C-alpha cells in the first residue's frame, strides 16, 4: 500500500462518497474494498466516511475555544495562593485508591 496524503484521502472521500451512497449492496462492497486498500483505513471507519453527507460550505465547525490568557492564569494562581488551596494536580486521583508508590493510607496501617 502506497502512502497518500490527507488531502488526497479527503478528495477521494468526496469523489467516491456519492457513488458509494447511491450504489447497490454489491457495488458498495467493491467500492469499500478498493477504498480500504488505497487509504489503509479500517472498514468501519471507511463506511462512516463514505456514508456521511458532504458538508455545505457555510456549515464550518466552530473554532476551538481559547485557553486561559496569561492574565486569567495569574488571577487563578493568585486566588489559589490567597486561599491556601492545594494545586489542582493531586485532585485528579481524588476518591481513587492511592498508587502503589504513594504512602499507604492511615486507616490501612495496623
Taken in order 10, 15, 21, 23, the sign of the CA dihedral is negative
Residue 14 contacts residue 39 (beta carbons within 8 Å): no
Dist CA 17 CA 110 (whole Å): 66
Asked if residue 73 belongs to a domain, the reply is no
pLDDT in tens, 36-92: 998 889 999 999 999 998 777 666 677 777 777 778 777 877 777 777 666 655 545
Asked if residue 93 belongs to a domain, the reply is no
Question: When comparing pLDDT for 18 and 101, which is higher?
Answer: 18
Model pLDDT, residue 76: 77
Is residue 21 over pLDDT 80? yes
Cell, residue 5: 496524503
Asked if residue 101 belongs to a domain, the reply is no
Which residue bears the cell 487563578? Answer: 76
Model pLDDT, residue 70: 78
Distances (CA, A) of 51 to 21, 38, 45: 6, 17, 10
Residue 18 contacts residue 44 (beta carbons within 8 Å): no
pTM: predicted TM-score of the whole model, two decimal places: 0.49
Model pLDDT, residue 88: 57
**Domain count of the chain?**
1
Q: Which domain holds residue 36?
A: 6-51
Residues ≥6 apart with Cβ < 8 Å to 19: 27, 31
Cell, residue 87: 494545586
Q: How sure is the predictor about 103, in pLDDT bands with cuts at 50, 70 and 90?
A: low
Amino acid at each position: 500500500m502506497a502512502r497518500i496524503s490527507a488531502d488526497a484521502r479527503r478528495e477521494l472521500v468526496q469523489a467516491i462518497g456519492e457513488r458509494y451512497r447511491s450504489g447497490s449492496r454489491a457495488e458498495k462492497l467493491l467500492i469499500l474494498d478498493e477504498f480500504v486498500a488505497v487509504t489503509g483505513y479500517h472498514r468501519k471507519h471507511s463506511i462512516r466516511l463514505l456514508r456521511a453527507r458532504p458538508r455545505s460550505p457555510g456549515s464550518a465547525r466552530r473554532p476551538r475555544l481559547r485557553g486561559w490568557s496569561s492574565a486569567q492564569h495569574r488571577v487563578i494562581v493568585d486566588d489559589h495562593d490567597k486561599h491556601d488551596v492545594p494545586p489542582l494536580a493531586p485532585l485528579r486521583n481524588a476518591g481513587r485508591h492511592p498508587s502503589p508508590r504513594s504512602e499507604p493510607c492511615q486507616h490501612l496501617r495496623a
